[in-house]
Amino acid sequence: MKTENKISQRQINRRRTFGIISHPDAGKTTLTEKLLLFGGAIQMAGAVKARKAGRHATSDWMAIEQERGISVTSSVMKFDYRDYEINLLDTPGHQDFSEDTYRVLTAVDSAVMVIDSVKGVETQTRKLMEVCRMRNTPILTFVNKLDREGLSPIDILGDIEDKLQIECAPLSWPIGMGKRFKGTYNLHRGELVLFTPGQERLTGDTVTIQNLDDPLLDQVLGSQADQLREDVALLEGAATPFDLDYFLKGGQTPVFFGSAINNFGVRELLDTFVEIAPGPQPRAAVTRTVTPDEPAFSGFVFKIQANMDPAHRDRIAFLRVCSGRFVRGMRVRHHRIGKEIQIANPIIFMAQDRAFVEEAWPGDIIGIHNHGTIRIGDTFSEKEPLAFTGVPNFAPELFRRVILRSPLKAKQLQKGIDQLVEEGAIQVFRPLANNAIILGAVGVLQFEVTMARLKAEYGVDAVYEPVDYSVARWVHCDDRKLLSLFEKDRQANLARDAEGNLTYLAQNEWQFNYMAEKWPDIGFSKTRECQ
Ligand code: G4P
């Protein structure tokens, strides 16, 4: 028993579960690929992109992704590095899928933020950072594309501190940029890492320089040696030193510089990442907080994804293990529906492959085949009735009414909508006053994907009309009498969502606020916990 506990503690401590956040085009895919390369999960660069391209060709809705050059889907990749087991959760960069990204970020313990050194902090990075801040997720920063002429490193740090309101602690420092980019100086270890463009560098050219006055520095860097000396002297006076506790609280970000495409600076990032990023963290449930070292298994579903294997039209629910040890074939309780189920064929995802999971530990992500019973936010555990919190639905701001061209397809439409809602791809509202079906989305591309998938996968031929709503709020009221008065009075604006929750739909904020003032004892919320 004692050894088993010891093993589990070791298993927990060696796990790192994280996501990469960035504005589209900053280099997230490229960095992912290089990380996998170091982890031995892929053998050559280009594999992740190739895999994406392969998936694109498989169905119509993926074509949207391809046409627009954006990543719609997110996936999970597992790889080993040194003695660590790393779970990398991919997040869609496009803002129209921010709901999905948010939910993926509820399942990570830390994040790596990629900044394009030419562009500095961009809008989507800002939004994703806000998401990380909600949970105080620790963030490491990778400033990418140093092989191009960009902003000065000092300006980039200033930009991050200003726009993202997070303290920066540079752990490496670039020597030149663009054509004059010579490498980075590791401030922590006093080591010079030299850059050779275009190399698939798995082992680096490093020169250890304990003292910056060493003439070796001039030999290696030529005229740029003095610039480095000046920069480091400036940093010693001005830059904030790295503070592990503050980083773990989400207040400070260690910063690395490099060039993902040249595989430069990636190993430095990864080496530090595994050492300082937190392992699996405790999770809040309705009744209590669950710690990863508890012996009983528990986990929650943060994502459902369809068509991962186009040959099988499967739908996979991604579950993050929060405590205990999961073993294949385990019987667990699915709390929302109050049933015990056996997880017979759980899947684990590697870069290019999937395999059956024999066992999993806190921090790991396992894929469970979903036959229509699992929803985002669902908790699974061994015995104790638990419901993890913090996986939200956001109030949509865009609405369309579905009008079927052929009434014979009503069943297919129903099935398609049910499944897409369950995946969190779209939301649906049914007005109390009529039989309309209203779809709600946070981003317009969600409609495009929904329409394309309803047609391609369910054979639905429909028109999607704009409707005059832009605000949705979930309604709460414990006073049944008052609620029924409200329902009667405001029936024309009320609808039920897919789970039957009462929702108020308004044309605009002004109209909503005017109504809400008249009903001060009714509660309205912009987000709703998935459960
Ligand atoms: P994303 O996932 O964040 O959207 O970015 P992605 O990795 O796809 O990179 C966006 C573009 O930036 C790609 O160029 C990629 O090659 C380039 N890139 C990534 N890292 C670096 C770097 O360190 N230096 C330079 N100079 N470029 C970099 P593309 O032309 O859009 O695509 P591709 O044809 O190269 O695939």
- Binding region for GTP: 22-29, 90-94, 144-147
Atom of ligand 1 nearest to the CA of 23: 3
- pLDDT per residue of the chain (531 residues) written in tens, 0 to 9: 444 555 588 999 999 999 999 998 899 988 988 898 888 766 655 555 544 444 433 344 455 454 544 343 447 888 899 999 999 998 776 667 778 888 899 999 999 999 999 999 998 888 888 888 888 999 999 999 999 999 999 999 999 999 999 999 999 999 999 999 989 998 878 888 888 766 555 555 667 777 888 888 898 888 899 999 999 988 888 888 999 999 999 999 999 999 999 888 998 999 999 999 999 999 999 999 999 999 999 999 998 887 665 556 678 899 999 999 999 999 999 998 899 999 988 888 765 567 788 999 999 999 998 887 888 899 999 988 899 988 878 889 999 999 999 888 899 999 999 988 888 889 999 999 999 999 999 888 888 889 888 988 889 989 999 999 999 999 999 999 999 999 999 999 999 999 899 999 999 999 999 999 999 999 999 888 765
* pLDDT of 77: 85
Do 57 and 170 have their domain in common? yes
* pLDDT of 3: 46
Give me 340's structure tokens.
């015990």
Do 271 and 293 have their domain in common? no
Is there a domain that residue 181 lies in? yes
Question: Which residues lie closer than 8 Å to 461 by C-beta, 6 or more apart?
Answer: 404, 405, 406, 409, 455
The secondary structure of 241-291, three-state, reads CCCHHHHHCCCEEEEEECECCCCECHHHHHHHHHHHCCCCCCEEECCCEEC
* Closest Cα to atom 24 of ligand 1: 145
DSSP state of 451: H
Cα–Cα distance, 256 to 14 (Å, whole number): 23
| Cβ–ligand 1 contact at 174 (below 6 Å) | no
DSSP string, 327-386: ETT-EEEETTTTEEEE--S-EEE-SS-EEE-SEE-TT-EEEEE-SS---TT-EEESSS--
| pTM of full prediction above 0.95 | no
* pLDDT of 91: 79
Q: What is the CATH number of the domain that holds 369?
A: 3.40.50.300
Do 114 and 232 have their domain in common? yes
Quote the crossing angle between the two packed helices 444-458 and 60-68, to the nearest 10°.
150
Q: Which of 20, 21, 30, 119 to mutate to test the pocket of ligand 1 (most atoms within 8 A of CB)?
A: 30
* pLDDT of 257: 96
| Cβ–ligand 1 contact at 443 (below 6 Å) | no
Q: In the chain, what is the straight-line distance between the N-terminal and C-terminal CA atoms, in Å? A: 35
Q: Domain end: 237, 258, 276, which one?
A: 276
* pLDDT of 357: 87
Residues 41-50: contacts with CB under 8 Å, at least 24 apart: 41/77, 41/78, 41/79, 41/80, 41/350, 41/351, 41/352, 42/351, 42/352, 45/200, 45/263, 47/351, 47/352, 48/351
Containing 156, the helix (H) or strand (E) segment is helix 153-164
Is there a domain that residue 80 lies in? no
Is there a domain that residue 11 lies in? no
Cα–Cα distance, 145 to 359 (Å, whole number): 39
Per-residue pLDDT tens digits for 14-23: 999 999 999 9
Do 268 and 189 have their domain in common? yes
Q: HSE (CB half, 13 Å, CA atoms) of 270?
A: 26
315 alpha carbon – ligand 1 mean position (Å): 30
Q: Which of 20, 21, 23, 25 to mutate to test the pocket of ligand 1 (most atoms within 8 A of CB)?
A: 25
Residue type, 50: A
Cα–Cα distance, 374 to 187 (Å, whole number): 48
Cα–Cα distance, 347 to 357 (Å, whole number): 5
Residue type, 31: L
Cα–Cα distance, 323 to 383 (Å, whole number): 12
Q: Domain end: 327, 355, 381, which one?
A: 381
Label residue 315 exposed, middle or buried (CB < 10 Å: 0-12, 13-18, 19+): buried
Atom of ligand 1 nearest to the CA of 148: 26
| Cβ–ligand 1 contact at 45 (below 6 Å) | no
Do 266 and 325 have their domain in common? no
* pLDDT of 60: 41
Give the closest residue to 118 by CA, choosing from 93, 147, 158, 90: 147
Is there a domain that residue 411 lies in? yes
Do 39 and 118 have their domain in common? yes
* Closest Cα to atom 4 of ligand 1: 25
Would you say 188 and 241 are in contact if contact means Cβ atoms under 8 Å apart?
A: no
| Cβ–ligand 1 contact at 118 (below 6 Å) | no
Cα–Cα distance, 215 to 202 (Å, whole number): 28
* pLDDT of 69: 42
Range of the domain at 267: 18-63+109-276
Cα–Cα distance, 282 to 445 (Å, whole number): 34
Q: Which of 261, 263, 264, 269 to mutate to test the pocket of ligand 1 (most atoms within 8 A of CB)?
A: 261
Do 150 and 215 have their domain in common? yes
Q: How many CB atoms lie within 10 A of CB 500?
A: 7
φ/ψ (deg, to 5) at 522:
-100, 135
Is there a domain that residue 75 lies in? no
* pLDDT of 392: 78
Do 289 and 250 have their domain in common? no
Give me 113's structure tokens.
């933020």
* pLDDT of 62: 52
Is there a domain that residue 91 lies in? no
Q: HSE (CB half, 13 Å, CA atoms) of 220?
A: 24
Do 347 and 412 have their domain in common? no
Q: How many domains would you assign to the chain?
A: 3
What is residue 80's three-state secondary structure? Answer: strand
Give the closest residue to 68 by CA, choosing from 31, 43, 93, 88: 93
Do 254 and 193 have their domain in common? yes
* pLDDT of 93: 62
Per-residue pLDDT tens digits for 180-208: 998 999 887 888 888 876 655 555 566 77
β-strand partners of 318:
303, 367
* pLDDT of 310: 54
Q: Domain end: 359, 381, 403, which one?
A: 381
What is the C-alpha R_g of the chain? 25
* pLDDT of 2: 47
Give the closest residue to 169 by CA, choosing from 150, 187, 144, 191: 187
Atom of ligand 1 nearest to the CA of 32: 7
- Binding region: 22-29, 90-94, 144-147
Alpha helices in 74-152 (DSSP H): 98-105, 123-134
Atom of ligand 1 nearest to the CA of 24: 4
* Closest Cα to atom 21 of ligand 1: 261
DSSP state of 95: G
Per-residue pLDDT tens digits for 362-380: 999 999 988 878 888 999 9
Is there a domain that residue 69 lies in? no
Please name the residue that has the structure tokens 């806000």: 130
DSSP state of 120: B
Is there a domain that residue 414 lies in? yes
Do 304 and 404 have their domain in common? no
Would you say 164 and 129 are in contact if contact means Cβ atoms under 8 Å apart?
A: yes
Do 444 and 511 have their domain in common? yes
Cα–Cα distance, 336 to 363 (Å, whole number): 22
